Each structure stands twice: as C-alpha cells, then as structure tokens.
Amino acid sequence: MDRKRALLVGSSFSAAPMFFALKRYGLHVSVCGNSPGDPCHQYADASIPIDYSKPEELMRVVESGNFDYLVPTCNDYSYMSCAQVAEKYAFPGLDAYATALALHTKNEFRKVAKTHAIRMPQFVKASQDTRNAVEHLNLPLLVKPTDSFSGRGVTKVCDARELDAAIADALAASRSGEAIVEEFIEGTLHSHSAFIQDQSVALDYFVDEFCTVYPYQVNCSNHPSALPESVRVGVRAEMDRMAKVLALKDGLLHTQFLCKGDQFWIIECMRRCPGDLYGSLVERSTGVDYADLYVRPFIDMRFPATPTAGVVKNVGRHTISRSEPLIAFAFSHRIPASKVETVPLKMSGERLDPAPFDKLAILFAEFESQKLMLETTPNFAELIDIRTHG
C-alpha cells in the first residue's frame, strides 16, 4: 500500500520538528525551499528547490506531485502561499485565503480587530496624509511594515517630526510597500499559543518574551509565564471570539500581546508556527509534543483529548545574537541553570551578521525554580560569552 504524501513548505532548522512529527505518522514527506543546504532538505524523502514565497512556484509543484497534505512551516510566506494553493486544491487545515490575509497582514488584521472590538492599540494606515491622521493618537508611536518580521523596519517615534523618516523606513522594509502607525504601549510582552478545535480554544500555552539585543525582535522567552490568571482568561476569551467571527479552521492560533497590570492589548495573530524552536520551549517545559499538535490539522487529524504532559518544568529559551557583526570561534555561558542545551546554527569561523538578520545558536535552560527562571531569562544575552579567536 502506497504511503500518503505530504509536502512540507519550509526547510530550515525551525521546520525540523514538524518534519519529524510528519514522519512519525509514516508519511512520505517532500520538502521545498530555496536553500538546498537547509536541514530538512537533508532529511527529506524528496527535496524540491523552489522559492515558495512565490505561490505560482508552489502551485506548479503541487500540480505535479500528487500530494495528500500541504503543511506550512514558520513564516508568513509559507502559510500565505499554502493558503493560496489550498483555494484550488482544498487541503485540510488551511483557512480561506481571505482569512489568512486578514490575520497575517498587520493592516488587514487591525481592520478585523477594530470591526470585532478586539483589544488592540489605536492605529492608522501609513500614507502621505498620515501626519494629519495621527493627530488623535498619543505619542509615542510605533511605525511598522505591514508584512515584515523580526522587528525589521519598526521605529518608535517620540517626536512627530520623526514620523516621515520612520514611515519611509517601514515602507522600505515592506514587501507590499505598506505600513501602519499605532500608539506605543508600555508593557510586558507575551505570547499565547492556542490550539483551536471547533472554533474554540481546546488547549493553550502562555510564554513571557523579551527583546534585549535588537528592538522588537524576541530573543529571550520562558515557560511557564508569570502572567496573572485574569489576563490569561481575558486573552483566551478574545481568541475564542476571534476563532468564531473568522470561522477559523482547526489548528494553531498564535498571538503576541502586551500586558500592563490586568490590561492587555493584542499585537498580532498568526496561524503558522512561530520560529526559532518556540515549540521546543513549550515541549521541554510541559512534555507536550507541540510540533505534533501543530501538524495534526494539516493531515486531517483532531487533537488528542488529553495531550500527554508531565510535571511542568521552568525553562528559558535564548536566541544568541549580537548587535555588531563578528566571526565566532566558540561561545560559553554563565547561566545558573541545572541543565543547558544548545542548538548550534553556525560553525566555528563563520561570520555572524548583526541582529535581526542572523543568529549563532538557540539555547534552552532548565531552572530549579520559577523565581530563578524569571530573574535570569531577561538577562540571557549578558550571560553568553562569545570568543572571536582560538
């Protein structure tokens, strides 16, 4: 009997947990992506070198490949191209393209959130008339490309005279040439991974996040979160409502939000998997197979009634990067943790470009107490020593 065939749309190290989750179901897994040296190309049953950010290239592969399943990975281009192809071929687990566009484009998402009274910062779409349009917004402001990631092109504006230059930077970083201006919220940053089933939250995980090397790019995070229960209940209720008003398919709904006391503001939502081995943080902390939960809807499976989980451990994650370029020979750490594991992303002697464009390794640290984890996680970068010579 022939094995069913899945096409994994993405090939980086962040896609590897999804690849192995699919293989555990005995599937034939093809991998596409335009970097043949990426890990998943090496693991794949078939390697297909294409630029999947171009939907027409992905469409050609699907039309010639007789695939049963189409699985997006860890970036918006992957999910959006998959959603566009699924409009024709009706693969399971993917939202309608219009819904995907509403969630993965900052400007469209804010329109949806405003229409349905989802809690979020006040905003306007950036344009030539933005200076007048932002008069009702309170300084400071945050200017963002509508379709960028890792904090690229994002500027905090404290003086209205800086607005035009900030908008120009955001537009330059945007593939679609669009940007938004929103009120800057002073608060702590968090994420919420909710697994939606039958248009409601079936299970979820909250993570604390920090940006300590490059503004607006998360490089430190921990689970369990220090969030108060009142905020968890509120965010969960907003995501329940989001799932219903958008008629979301079963699967991951991942959200970033800001919190100040008992108040919170939704920043962005996405249906694709977050990158930099985010799921491995949750798995190390809870024992739950995050990658398995993520891929299930794309292979037409429901979530388990009670996902296997052990005693929750206190785990921090750190993406090692620097603000200046360097040639890394080796690195070490001074993290006061009972267990530290690293996933190297560079070989000794390779150039490390400055954040947000590059990273040296991803580190996971297990702590003996939640207090020690919460104290240490925001300071990970200061506890990493990078040697630049032998």
Q: By percentage, how much of the chain surpasses pLDDT 90?
A: 74
Query: Scanning the structure block, which residue is given the tokens 């993917």?
Result: 94
pLDDT digits (tens, 9 = 90+) for 285-326: 999 999 999 999 999 999 998 766 678 999 999 999 999 999
Tell me which residue of 101, 163, 108 sits closest to 133, measured CA to CA: 163
C-alpha distances in Å from residue 297, one per residue of 138, 251, 329, 331: 42, 6, 42, 39
Q: What is the pLDDT of residue 306?
A: 74
Q: How far apart are CA 387 and CA 44, in angstroms?
A: 34
pLDDT tens for 319-342 read 999 999 999 999 999 999 999 999
Which H or E run includes 366? strand 361-367
Q: What is the pLDDT of residue 340?
A: 98
pLDDT tens for 334-366 read: 999 999 999 999 999 999 999 999 999 999 999
Q: What is the pLDDT of residues 220-241, one digit of tens each?
A: 999 999 999 999 999 999 999 9
Residue pLDDT, tens place only, 47-63: 999 999 999 999 999 99
Q: How many CA atoms lie within 13 A of 188 on its CB side?
A: 21
Rg of the chain over all Cα atoms, to the nearest angstrom: 21
Q: C-alpha angle with apex 378: 202 to 389, nearest 5 degrees?
A: 120
CA distances from 330 to 54, 100, 249, 262 (A): 37, 41, 45, 43
Cβ atoms of 206 and 256 within 8 Å: the answer is no
- The pLDDT value given to residue 136: 74
Q: How far apart are CA 100 and CA 273, in angstroms?
A: 13
**Residue 1, pLDDT above cutoff 80:** no
Q: Which domains does the chain have, with CATH numbers?
A: 5-91 (3.40.50.20), 122-183 (3.30.1490.20), 188-387 (3.30.470.20)
What value does the mean pLDDT of the chain take? 92
